[in-house]
Amino acid sequence: MAASINPDGVLAGQVAVVTGASRGIGVAVAKRFAMEGAKIIVTARTVEKADHYLPGTIGETVADIRNAGGEAVAVQADLSQPEDRERLVEESLLAFGGVDILVNNAAVTFFIPVADFPEKRFRLMMDVQVWTPFQLSQLFIPGMRERGGGRILNVSSHAAIHPDKTLPARGSTVYGMCKAALERFTTGLAQELYDENIGVNVVSPGLVATPGAVHHNLITEESKDRVTPVEHMAEACLRLCHGDSRELTGRIDYADAVMEEFNLQAVALI
């Protein structure tokens, strides 16, 4: 059956913000949520093809959703900039009147050994991968409370797991630091919001052949057999954003484990 929009899907009537939605996981999540009836706000820096060396733009993401019969708007934002974070919230509220789901997927990543890591790049990674999810959560939580609940989903990585010291390092220490901080933030926020019908979770994709992963040479001869389709990540994200928020909160999950636990089948995306 061809992929399509179901206006009466499990996210019908809800509004979702997906950051980093010009390519890769962000696009897949935005499309999958739209297929279940959500209105989508996508944000990233890339609006035109010439804006970035990797393929994909938020304009293309919105066009694909609209062409399939869904509702979506694009908000260009550099989430390392505080004024852009605040503008994203303002424009999201103007677009659809409120937000029920926040997916913090945006990332800026450099793989450099600690001894050589520049402070400027360290601060940029922490700003985008830790402070941005923290502040966007702060800014969207009041509206979720007014709407009677919501969901916050943070995209992490297996890099948050403590590494085997005997294996070759890939310069991923700072990346792992960011994701570990994001995971601890998630469980703490889930605790704070447990009685407010706002579920807060983390999900990690495993190894997905996104444009960024390919650019950073993460797909190798040794790892190519472990690559999983991006549709699996989209399905896992969807499952963690509906249902009983008390049952599905404070989780540090992995896409393949979510797929198995809930007996999910990935579907083709619009």
Residue positions annotated with a catalytic role: 175
Q: Compute φ and ψ for 243, nearest 5 degrees.
A: 105, -165
Q: Which residue from 31, 64, 100, 63 is spatially nearest to 241, judged by alpha carbons?
A: 100
Order of strands, sheet of 101-104, starting from the edge strand that comes earlier in the sequence: 72-76, 39-44, 15-19, 101-104, 150-155, 198-204, 252-254
**From CA 115, how far away is CA 134, in angstroms rounded?**
28
- What single string gives the DSSP state of each residue in 103-160? EE---------GGG--HHHHHHHHIIIIIHHHHHHHHHHHHHHHTT-EEEEEE--GGG
Map residue 4 onto helix, strand or coil. Answer: coil
- 78 in Cβ contact with 45 (< 8 Å): yes
Who contacts 232 (Cβ-Cβ below 8 Å, separation ≥6)?
A: 205, 206, 255, 256, 259, 266
Which among 206, 205, 234 has a CA at the least distance from the CA of 3? 234
Q: Based on C-alpha coordinates, what's the Rg of the chain?
A: 17
Smallest CA-to-CA distance from 159 within 147, 169, 144, 149 is with 169
Cβ-based neighbours of 221, under 8 Å, separated by 6 or more: none
